[in-house]
């Protein structure tokens, strides 16, 4: 018997050579999937071919095959940063962003290794194989193998395999008949996994207006599953997709069912972790780091409850702390971990050490411009242009010995081109200056205790002090920004976050729900645009738009 890697490669090549495989391009070049035009869009953005993130591939494999960690071990991490072509600025992006998913050799080789590992482990669990196939093989059993390929392919490719695709799999499998049924199972699984149809979500649909495509049931279900669950559709959803074309009421009904699934709760938490980045806090002390993560997770969970207004994420007047974390913050210490009232200028997650530490580069010391830029981009969706190439943002503004930080920053932003950006970001950063890089309150500068910190900041022409003050002057902007981030996360496209008509519809629905976050997710997947794809940059008004 040939080596398993070589055997698998020959099997996949044989399947591709049959002409039945849906991918007619190569994974290490621009993909051309089942007739989809991948020409770069013109003035109006089109929906790119979505490639699943490593996180989504991991969840899909786990939900279908019960195998944990294969994607994480073998596939490269999705880039956390990308350059915005509109501004030239490098910024944080979600792992779902289409722009960061160009194929490369590292990904292709990782996919091959992942397919080998999964195929091996899956084939060894013969009981799981037979359960998924719905039959017990007798020797090399092509009928049973074909049923397995059909059932497994439906789950992994999120659509029924075509007869020609199944025929090609069986033709290739027969070459290994002498090696036994479960060797063939291993190779079928590897072929299905090492395929663009697994990692790309093809969205062909049917043209319903010039340049506008209505997605098929299976394509809609796949979109919904990866937005609401971060994973592949369930067998029940795929069976439902095999019926008559979905209408709006059917999509709304499916959304309600999916939002009741625990995977929806996990996905809501995932979005907040990726957006607010608090799990990546720069707190070095392991115990303090864990306490701060628990604090942020508790607040996010509370803001996501069905009877809660999501705005609690920003305006909550109490926080969840351990006795040690309460002492660290200078709050009243509970007997055990629990909720305690905030004091002073604290409010919501913007006062958490896990969040505040993200802009600190010198442990507890702060760089007001860097913190202000983080708040502007992440919380307020302000466009902040990149600094000049000779400016190192990690160094901050040089503060002469004996001088106060506020004076040095005032002198810096008064110089030429620095004024525009620094007016915004310094106004935000100095409004948070009474909180150090670990979330502790202070009233004097760490490096020069003779300098008092007044904590005064500004945003949009209004003055504020601390997280609570910013919420008072900018909470509506924060909520709108959160919606924009969710649209980027769900649609995988930067440009759609600039679709003002879509954002207005979502804002109205969200407000009408009492700011229940689950209802915002429902509004996204039931919006008429969600079941469509703009296939041409020349489209004027789409069918769901009004003049």
Question: pLDDT digit string (tens) for 88-102?
Answer: 778 889 999 988 888
pLDDT at 394 (0 to 100):
56
pLDDT at 197 (0 to 100):
95
Question: pLDDT digit string (tens) for 336-351?
Answer: 999 999 989 999 999 9
198-224 as b/e, with b when 16 or more CB fall inside 10 Å? bbbbbbebeeeeebbbbbbbbbbbbbb
Backbone angles phi, psi at 459, to 5 degrees: -155, 130
Q: With bands split at pLDDT 50, 70 and 90, how would you rate the model's confidence at 21? A: very low
pLDDT at 523 (0 to 100):
98
Backbone angles phi, psi at 2, to 5 degrees: -70, 160
Stretch among 25-39, 165-179, 188-202, 452-466 having the lowest mean pLDDT:
25-39
* H/E segment holding residue 534: strand 532-534
Q: Is the pLDDT of residue 25 over 50?
A: no
Residues 6+ apart with CB under 8 A from 506: 483, 487, 520, 523, 524, 527
User: How far is it, in rounded angstroms, from Cα 5 to Cα 112?
Assistant: 9
DSSP state of 467: H
Q: Is the pLDDT of residue 43 over 60?
A: no
pLDDT at 19 (0 to 100):
35
Nearest residue to 458 (alpha-carbon basis) of 368, 387, 388, 397: 368
Enter the tokens of residue 445.
């500068």
What's the whole-model pTM score?
0.89
Q: Mean pLDDT throughout 305-323?
A: 97
Q: Mean pLDDT throughout 503-511?
A: 96
Place of tokens 């200056």: 433
Length of the chain equals: 547
* Average pLDDT along the chain: 87
Q: With bands split at pLDDT 50, 70 and 90, how would you rate the model's confidence at 39? A: very low
Percent of the chain with pLDDT over 90: 68
User: How far is it, in rounded angstroms, from Cα 377 to Cα 360?
Assistant: 16
Question: pLDDT digit string (tens) for 163-188?
Answer: 999 999 999 999 989 999 999 999 99
**What is the Cα 41 distance to its own chain's centre?**
23
Sheet strands (E) in 138-240: 206-209, 212-214
Question: How many Cα atoms are found within 13 Å in the side-chain-facing hemisphere of 477?
Answer: 15
User: How far is it, in rounded angstroms, from Cα 194 to Cα 71?
Assistant: 12
Classify burial at 287, counting beta carbons within 10 Å of its beta carbon; exposed 0-12, middle 13-18, buried 19 or more: exposed
Percent of the chain with pLDDT over 70: 86
511-537 as b/e, with b when 16 or more CB fall inside 10 Å? eebebbbbbbbbbbbbbebbbbbbbee
> 231: left (phi > 0), else alpha (psi -120 to 50), else beta?
beta
pLDDT at 9 (0 to 100):
42
Edge-to-edge order in the sheet of strand 206-209? 206-209, 212-214, 532-534
- Count of H-run helices and E-run strands, the chain: 23, 9
Question: pLDDT digit string (tens) for 401-428?
Answer: 778 887 888 776 666 555 556 778 989 9
217-228 vs 517-526: helix crossing angle, rounded to 10: 160
The DSSP result for 368-393, as a single string, is: HHHHHHHIIIIIT----PPPPTT--T
Enter the tokens of residue 280.
């990546």
User: How far is it, in rounded angstroms, from Cα 544 to Cα 291?
Assistant: 47
User: How far is it, in rounded angstroms, from Cα 372 to Cα 429?
Assistant: 4
pLDDT at 34 (0 to 100):
36
Instruction: Using alpha carbons, list the distances in angstroms from residue 502 to 513, 542, 545, 546.
Output: 17, 12, 9, 11
pLDDT at 412 (0 to 100):
67
Q: Are 254 and 287 in contact (CB under 8 A)?
A: no
- State the sign of the Cα–Cα–Cα–Cα dihedral 120, 126, 127, 131: positive
Nearest residue to 325 (alpha-carbon basis) of 364, 296, 366: 296
Q: Is 23 helix (H, G, I), strand (E, B) or coil?
A: strand
pLDDT at 224 (0 to 100):
98
Classify burial at 388, counting beta carbons within 10 Å of its beta carbon; exposed 0-12, middle 13-18, buried 19 or more: exposed
pLDDT at 40 (0 to 100):
36
pLDDT at 132 (0 to 100):
96
Enter the tokens of residue 3.
């080596």
User: How far is it, in rounded angstroms, from Cα 156 to Cα 61?
Assistant: 8
Q: Mean pLDDT throughout 250-266?
A: 97
pLDDT at 414 (0 to 100):
61
Stretch among 323-327, 371-375, 402-406 having the lowest mean pLDDT:
402-406
Q: Is the pLDDT of residue 13 over 90?
A: no
DSSP state of 362: B
pLDDT at 413 (0 to 100):
65
Q: Is the pLDDT of residue 466 over 90?
A: yes
Backbone angles phi, psi at 543, to 5 degrees: -55, -30
262-276 vs 517-526: helix crossing angle, rounded to 10: 100
pLDDT at 117 (0 to 100):
97
User: How far is it, in rounded angstroms, from Cα 279 to Cα 519?
Assistant: 25
Q: Is the pLDDT of residue 12 over 60?
A: no
Enter the tokens of residue 460.
């949009």
pLDDT at 114 (0 to 100):
98
Place of tokens 């600025």: 89
User: How far is it, in rounded angstroms, from Cα 101 to Cα 52?
Assistant: 8
User: How far is it, in rounded angstroms, from Cα 314 to Cα 513?
Assistant: 18
Question: pLDDT digit string (tens) for 474-495?
Answer: 999 999 999 999 999 999 887 7
Enter the tokens of residue 187.
């190779």
pLDDT at 386 (0 to 100):
72
Stretch among 40-54, 112-126, 153-167, 173-187 having the lowest mean pLDDT:
40-54
Q: With bands split at pLDDT 50, 70 and 90, how would you rate the model's confidence at 29? A: very low
pLDDT at 322 (0 to 100):
98
Place of tokens 């992440």: 378
Enter the tokens of residue 2.
């040939």
User: How far is it, in rounded angstroms, from Cα 67 to Cα 90?
Assistant: 35
Enter the tokens of residue 403.
């001088």
Say how many C-beta atoms besides its own lie within 10 A of residue 93's C-beta: 20
């Amino acid at each position: 018997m040939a080596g398993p890697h070589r055997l698998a490669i020959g099997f996949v090549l044989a399947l591709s050579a049959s002409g039945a495989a849906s991918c007619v391009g190569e994974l290490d070049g621009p993909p051309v999937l089942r007739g989809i035009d991948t020409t770069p869009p013109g003035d109006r953005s089109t929906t790119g071919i979505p490639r699943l993130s490593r996180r989504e591939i991991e969840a899909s494999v786990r939900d279908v095959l019960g195998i944990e960690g294969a994607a994480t071990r073998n596939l490269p991490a999705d880039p956390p940063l990308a350059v915005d072509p509109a501004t030239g600025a490098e910024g944080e992006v979600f792992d779902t962003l289409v722009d960061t998913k160009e194929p490369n050799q590292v990904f292709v080789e990782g996919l091959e290794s992942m397919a080998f590992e999964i195929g091996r482990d899956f084939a060894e669990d013969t009981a799981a194989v037979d359960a998924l196939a719905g039959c017990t093989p007798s020797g090399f059993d092509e009928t049973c193998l074909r049923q397995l390929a059909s059932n497994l392919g439906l789950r992994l490719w999120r659509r029924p395999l075509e007869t020609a695709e199944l025929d090609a799999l069986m033709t290739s499998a027969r070459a290994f008949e002498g090696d036994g049924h479960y060797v063939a199972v291993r190779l079928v699984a590897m072929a299905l996994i090492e395929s663009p149809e697994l990692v790309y979500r093809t969205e062909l649909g049917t043209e319903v207006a010039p340049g506008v495509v209505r997605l098929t049931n299976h394509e809609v279900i796949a979109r919904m599953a990866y937005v609401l669950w971060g994973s592949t559709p369930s067998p029940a959803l795929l069976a439902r997709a095999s019926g008559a074309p979905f209408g709006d009421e059917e999509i709304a009904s499916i959304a309600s069912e999916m939002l009741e699934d625990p995977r929806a709760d996990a996905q809501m938490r995932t979005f907040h972790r990726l957006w607010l980045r608090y799990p990546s806090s720069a707190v070095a002390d392991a115990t303090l780091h864990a306490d701060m993560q628990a604090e942020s997770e508790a607040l996010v969970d509370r803001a996501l409850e069905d009877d809660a207004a999501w705005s609690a994420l920003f305006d909550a007047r109490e926080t969840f702390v351990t006795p040690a974390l309460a002492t660290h913050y200078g709050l009243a210490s509970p007997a055990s971990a629990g909720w305690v009232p905030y004091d002073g200028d604290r409010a919501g997650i913007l006062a958490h050490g896990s969040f505040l530490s993200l802009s600190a580069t010198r442990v507890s010391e702060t760089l007001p411009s860097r913190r202000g830029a983080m708040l502007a981009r992440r919380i307020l969706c302000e466009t902040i242009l990149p600094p000049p190439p000779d400016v190192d943002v990690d160094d901050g503004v040089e503060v002469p010995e004996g001088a106060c930080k506020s004076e040095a920053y005032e002198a810096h932003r008064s110089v030429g081109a620095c004024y525009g950006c620094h007016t915004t970001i310094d106004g935000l950063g100095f409004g948070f200056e009474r909180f150090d890089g670990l979330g502790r309150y202070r009233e004097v500068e760490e490096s020069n205790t003779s300098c008092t910190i007044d904590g005064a900041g500004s945003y949009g022409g209004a003055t504020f002090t601390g997280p609570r003050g910013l919420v008072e002057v900018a909470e509506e902007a924060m909520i709108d920004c959160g919606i924009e981030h969710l649209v980027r996360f769900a649609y995988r496209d930067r440009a759609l976050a600039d679709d003002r008509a879509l954002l207005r519809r979502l804002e109205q629905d969200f407000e009408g729900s009492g700011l229940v976050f689950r209802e915002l997710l429902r509004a996204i997947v039931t919006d008429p645009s969600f079941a469509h794809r703009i296939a041409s940059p020349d489209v004027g008004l789409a069918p769901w738009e009004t003049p």
